[in-house]
Amino acid sequence: MYSIGQLSKATGVKVPTIRYYEQVGVLASAGRTDGNQRRYDQDGVERLGFIKHARDLGFSIEAITALIDLQQHPDRSCADASAIAKHQLADVQEKLRRLSALEAELIRISDGCDGDGVSGQCYVLASLADHKHCRTDH
């Protein structure tokens, strides 16, 4: 049996975050001692490990809740799991596209100013003031 602090150390998830996960329902409520403190078993460690790993990969709490639900029913179709993963991938790829465009503009903007001028002539400020300086949409 683990206390919440021991679970925290075992998984790398902070104590208040564990309580938050319980509050929003992605982590099942733990058993309690007579004094009302949470106690976790190995199952709890694995459940929280799953949540942490999925969060690290960018899945939303809502998506993770659905995935854990699926995991509790090993005989159900995994179509939803597949869809959630593909959706998450598409999401990440969209963010990558947007960030790449931003990176290109920011490199141009950064390169245009050494910081040794005066703000009236600053390329950073001029570029932000007018999108026409930009090479891409964004």
Partner DNA sequence: CTTGAACCTCTAGTGACTAGAGGTTGTAGA
Partner DNA sequence: TCTACAACCTCTAGTCACTAGAGGTTCAAG
Query: How far, in Å, CA of 59 to CA of 68, rounded?
Result: 12
Query: How far, in Å, CA of 17 to CA of 6, rounded?
Result: 14
The smaller minimum CB distance to DNA, of residues 69 and 117, is found at 69
**Options 3-11, 17-25, 34-42, 122-130: segment touching its own copies (CB under 8 A):** 122-130
Please select the residue that binds Zn ion; options are 100, 106, 117, 129, rule is CB under 5 A: 117
Please select the residue that binds Zn ion; options are 25, 41, 58, 78, rule is CB under 5 A: 78
The answer to whether the CB of 127 falls within 8 A of the CB of 109 is: yes
Q: Contact between 37 and its own copies (CB under 8 A)?
A: no
Nearest to 66 by CA among 51, 52, 56: 51
Query: How far, in Å, CA of 86 to CA of 39, rounded?
Result: 35
Nearest to 22 by CA among 6, 44, 41: 44
Q: Contact between 106 and its own copies (CB under 8 A)?
A: yes
The smaller minimum CB distance to Zn ion, of residues 15 and 113, is found at 113
**DSSP letter assigned to residue 28:** P
Binding partner of residue 6 among DNA, its own copies, Zn ion, none, CB under 5 to 8 Å per kind? DNA
Binding partner of residue 97 among Zn ion, DNA, its own copies, none, CB under 5 to 8 Å per kind? none
Helix (H) or strand (E) holding 39: strand 38-39
Q: How far is the CB of 121 from DNA (least distance, A)?
A: 27
Residues that bind Zn ion (CB under 5 A): 78, 113, 117, 122, 131, 134
